[in-house]
Amino acid sequence: MTHSALIEELKTLVEPGKVLTDADSLQAYGRDWTRHFAPAPSAIVFPKTIEQVQAIVRWANERRVALVPSGGRTGLSAAAVAANGEVVVSFDYMNRILEVNLTDRTAVCQPGVITEQLQNKAAEHGLYYPVDFASAGSSQIGGNIGTNAGGIKVIRYGMTRNWVAGMKVVTGKGDLLELNKDLIKNATGYDLRQLFIGAEGTLGFVVEATMRLDRAPKNLTAMVLGTPDFDSIMPVLHAFQGKLDLTAFEFFSDKALAKIMGRGDVPAPFETDCPFYALLEFEATTEAVANQALETFEHCVEQGWVLDGVMSQSETQLQNLWKLREYISETISHWTPYKNDISVTVSKVPEFLKEIDAIVGKHYPDFEVVWYGHIGDGNLHLNILKPDNLGKDEFFAKCATVNKWVFEIVEKYNGSISAEHGVGMTKRDYLTYSRSPVEIEYMKAIKATFDPNGIMNPGKIFAV
């Protein structure tokens, strides 16, 4: 069957005007935030109902057409990139919050619901959706589930998988499964829900999700602390964790701060120049809690772990301190960074970072390296910035060379090559550094069960 005939068939499965093939749409919907692969989808289809999603998947099975899911396209692993003529299934029109249950503290969401949309809806009811990150204003719940998104609150609230009460999925066969049915306790065999969380659309598509909500935090307060070296950050974490229930503990380097200051839209936290900075957040529910934070800060200064610091005194100050951390990714995107999202257990972080920093510095002394991340949960973001005089392809090729050395260190420390960004296409060739060959074979067998014809996001996580 010709390409045009396939597209005409596809158009019969959805509402009029919900299949696009123009060049601008193919370019926009065929990519995510990565720029490693050129988008080349054959069409973009916009279902509005679960039944339409099922019809698309069954048609794709019959015609052996590959499908790629598309949410907010904020991913950093090329998991949502359609580079080989696939049909992109966009969930932009399945974007409603269907129900909020105050007794169960849950919200039933279609997959195209924007993360911030759910956060705002929860706030309207005095509740809280805690999974949060810089792209919350554009990322979608379906994509968050597909990548098991983490973000800035993991130290307190965990990853996305902690907040999925239940969900409906359309498998690679076109079957509709209702997983866990929103139960808190359910000991009836395999929890298939967890298989789909983090599967990057390779087993099927999430078409509805019931997300758990929490009580709203009270008087969130942030501190930014400057440290004389990276080794001082871990004692600071231990000191504050021993006294306070932290909702976040982030870090960034002086180079990251310099890029933010260069934007000119966020004030410096304080005048003292420091090589590393920690940002921590807690609920200052009482004056005693706030005083405990200040006393802990003074203790850290006395120990030589902290050179200077500031604590937010208002909501505006809180937001400005967070911008120092949350604006980093967007700011450094100007330099087309090569990103690594790696993790180890928290206790191993200092030595782990030292080894990787030494490797990168030795082999690429002329490349600027920007470190930041969620150090409270062992997740580091290594960003190598592209020099202006170096072409993108040559730059990425040089960085790919250093990947082997970086991931050998990850393997040495029993870490993960992808802490929260997923595997997609950018990390699939390195999966063996975090997963054994036997594990990968089991993963492939699971995919074959749910997607026997291999139409669901092929080439992601592992090669076809």
Give the residue among 203, 204, 266 at the shortest CA–CA distance from 447. 203
pLDDT value at position 402?
Answer: 87
Q: Are residues 344 and 414 in the same domain?
A: yes
pLDDT at 444 over 80: yes
| Average pLDDT for 385-398 | 90
pLDDT at 277 over 80: yes
Q: Is 464 contained in some domain?
A: no
How far is Cα of residue 287 from the mean position of the Cα atoms in its chain? Answer: 35
Q: Is 462 contained in some domain?
A: no
Of the residues 59, 90, 121, the one at which a domain ends? 90
Q: Are residues 81 and 56 in the same domain?
A: yes
Q: Is 450 contained in some domain?
A: no
Contact residues for 177 (Cβ-Cβ < 8 A; gap 6+): 168, 169, 170, 171, 192, 204
The whole-angstrom separation of Cα 370 and Cα 348 is 20
Give tens-digit pLDDT for 235-261: 999 999 999 999 999 999 999 999 999
Q: Predicted confidence band at 33 (pLDDT cuts at 50, 70, 90)?
A: confident
Single-letter residue type at 407: F
> Which of left, alpha, beta for 134 (phi over 0: left; psi -120 to 50: alpha)?
alpha
pLDDT at 464 over 80: no
The whole-angstrom separation of Cα 221 and Cα 209 is 31
The enclosing domain of 431 has a CATH number of 3.30.70.2740
Look at 164-173, 247-256, 307-316, 330-339 and tell me which has the smallest mean pLDDT: 330-339
Q: Are residues 312 and 348 in the same domain?
A: no
The enclosing domain of 320 has a CATH number of 3.30.70.2190
Query: Could you list the residue range(s) of the whole structural domain that residue 194 is in?
Result: 97-215
pLDDT at 349 over 80: yes
Q: Are residues 391 and 410 in the same domain?
A: yes
Q: Are residues 14 and 82 in the same domain?
A: yes
Of the residues 165, 198, 215, the one at which a domain ends? 215
Domain count, the chain: 4
The pTM of the full predicted model, rounded to 2 decimals, is 0.94
Give the residue among 198, 200, 196, 178 at the shortest CA–CA distance from 188. 178
The enclosing domain of 116 has a CATH number of 3.30.465.10
H or E element at residue 53: helix 50-63
Averaged pLDDT of the chain: 96
Q: Are residues 351 and 313 in the same domain?
A: no
Q: Predicted confidence band at 400 (pLDDT cuts at 50, 70, 90)?
A: confident
Share of the chain above pLDDT 90, in %: 90
pLDDT value at position 401?
Answer: 87
Give tens-digit pLDDT for 98-150: 999 999 999 999 999 999 999 999 999 999 999 999 899 999 999 999 999 99
pLDDT at 36 over 90: no
Q: Are residues 106 and 211 in the same domain?
A: yes
Q: Are residues 301 and 320 in the same domain?
A: yes
Q: Are residues 318 and 295 in the same domain?
A: yes
Give tens-digit pLDDT for 198-247: 999 999 999 999 999 999 999 999 999 999 999 999 999 999 999 999 99
pLDDT value at position 376?
Answer: 93
Q: Predicted confidence band at 363 (pLDDT cuts at 50, 70, 90)?
A: confident
Better-predicted residue by pLDDT, 464 or 251: 251
Q: Is 395 contained in some domain?
A: yes
Q: Is 410 contained in some domain?
A: yes
Give tens-digit pLDDT for 146-163: 999 999 999 999 999 999
Of the residues 329, 363, 394, the one at which a domain ends? 329
Q: Predicted confidence band at 453 (pLDDT cuts at 50, 70, 90)?
A: very high
Sheet holding 97-101, edge to edge: 97-101, 106-109, 204-212, 164-171, 176-179
Q: Are residues 102 and 203 in the same domain?
A: yes
Look at 202-211, 291-300, 323-332 and tell me which has the smallest mean pLDDT: 323-332
pLDDT value at position 448?
Answer: 98
The whole-angstrom separation of Cα 372 and Cα 334 is 17
